[in-house]
Amino acid sequence: MRVAKKIDEVRSFVRAARMRGAQVGFVPTMGALHQGHLALIRACVAQNDVSVVSIFVNPTQFGPREDFNSYPRPFEQDVALCEKEGVDLVFAPSAGEMYSPDHATYVEVEGLTAGLCGQFRPGHFRGVTTVVSKLFNIVEPDTAYFGEKDYQQLIVIKRMVADLNFPVRIVPIPTVREADGLAVSSRNLYLSARERRAAPALYRALCEGAKAAAQGASGFEVEKITRQALEKEPLFKLQYVQAVHPETLQPREDQGVPMVIAAAAYLGSTRLIDNIKVEGRS
C-alpha cells in the first residue's frame, strides 16, 4: 500500500492503474476510521480493482466554533487499518497541499443544504461539496462510497454529481451500529461513560418514529413521537427532529411515507446525528 501526501503522486498512481484498465474506487474520509468507514472501504475493495482512501480533516467544512482542532487524528492507526483492508493508496494531504492561500472557488448545492443540519451549520455543506469536488478531480474514481449515516450529505453529493456531470458513480452504504443501536461515529470518542450509556436513546427514538410512520403517521406526528421519545433521556439536548422526503429532503408535514426521519442532538458538548428511512407502510 502506498501513502501519498502529494496530489501529483495520486494522479500518476491512478492514471497508471487506469492505463491497465483498472476500475478505481474511492472512499473520502476525515480519518479516525471506525467500523462505519470500514464498511465503505470493504465495499470499495470488493467492487474495484484499485481502491483509494483519502484521509483529510477538511477545514472548510468546520464552523468557527466547531471541533476542527480537537477532531481525532490517529493517523498511524488509520493507515494500518487501510493496509489490513487491502486499500491500494491512502491520500493524506496537508491543508496547504489542498488549499492554496488564494483559494477562492466553492461548489454549492442550493436548496438541499438549507434544512436539517444545514440550518445549524452554515457553510458546512459548501465545504463538503468543495473538497469532494477537489478529491474527485484529483483521484478521478469510477465509483465513490458514502455512508447513509450522513444522510443529507449523501443526497447533497448525489445532487452535485448529477448537476456537475461528474463521471463518478455514488454508492451509498448503510449505517453501521453498535450492538445497542448507537450509530458508529468518530465523535462517539468524545462521550463520557455516562453519556455513552445514554447515547442509544437517539436511535431508539428514531425507531419509535419509524414505527409510527410505518403505521401511517404523518411527518408532523412522527416528529412529535420521536421528540417525545428522546425527551425520556434527560442527558440529550435535541437540536432538531425532521421527517423529510428521502430524495428532495422536503418536510413531510401532513404527508406520510416514504420519509427519512433525521435528528441531531447534543450529549454534553458532543453533537450526534442519526436517521432512519421508512420506505412504505408495514
Active site residues: 37
Only one of the segments 29-37, 40-48, 127-135, 174-182 lies at the binding site for a copy of itself (rule: CB under 8 A); that segment is 127-135
Backbone φ and ψ of 262, nearest 5°: -120, 145
Taking CB under 8 A as the rule, does residue 109 contact a copy of itself?
Answer: yes
Q: How far is the CB of 117 from a copy of itself (least distance, A)?
A: 17
* Residue 137 or 228 having the CB closest to a copy of itself: 137
Would you count residue 120 as binding a copy of itself (CB under 8 A)?
Answer: no
Q: 31-54: buried (b, 16+ CB within 10 Å) or exposed (e) per residue?
A: bbbbebbbbbbbbbbeebebbbbb
Q: Chain-centre distance of CA 29, in angstroms? A: 9
Using CA atoms of 38, 44, 49, 54 in order, give the dihedral in degrees to the nearest 10: -70
Q: How far is it, in rounded angstroms, from Cα 246 to Cα 225?
A: 19
Piece of the chain touching a copy of itself by CB under 8 A; list 103-111, 145-153, 185-193, 265-273: 103-111
From candidates 33, 112, 176, 206, binder to a copy of itself by CB under 8 A:
112
CB atoms within 10 A of CB 76: 7
Does 95 bind a copy of itself (CB under 8 A)? Our answer is: no
CB 156 → a copy of itself: shortest distance, Å?
Answer: 9
Q: What is the separation of C-alpha 108 from the centre of its chain, rounded to a whole number of angstroms?
A: 17
Closest to a copy of itself by CB, 159 vs 271, is 159
107: contact with a copy of itself by CB under 8 A: yes
Say how far apart CA 122 and CA 200 lie, in whole Å: 27
Is residue 20 a contact residue for a copy of itself (CB under 8 A)?
A: no
Which three three-digit cell numbers place residue 89? 493508496
**Total number of residues that touch a copy of itself (CB under 8 A):** 30
The reply to whether 160 sits near a copy of itself by the rule CB under 8 A is yes
Could you tell me if 258 and 280 are in contact, meaning their C-beta atoms sit under 8 angstroms apart? yes
Q: Is 151:107 a contact under the CB 8 Å cutoff?
A: no
Q: Which residues bind a copy of itself (CB under 8 A)?
A: 7, 11, 100, 102-112, 129-130, 133-134, 137-138, 140, 159-160, 162-167, 248
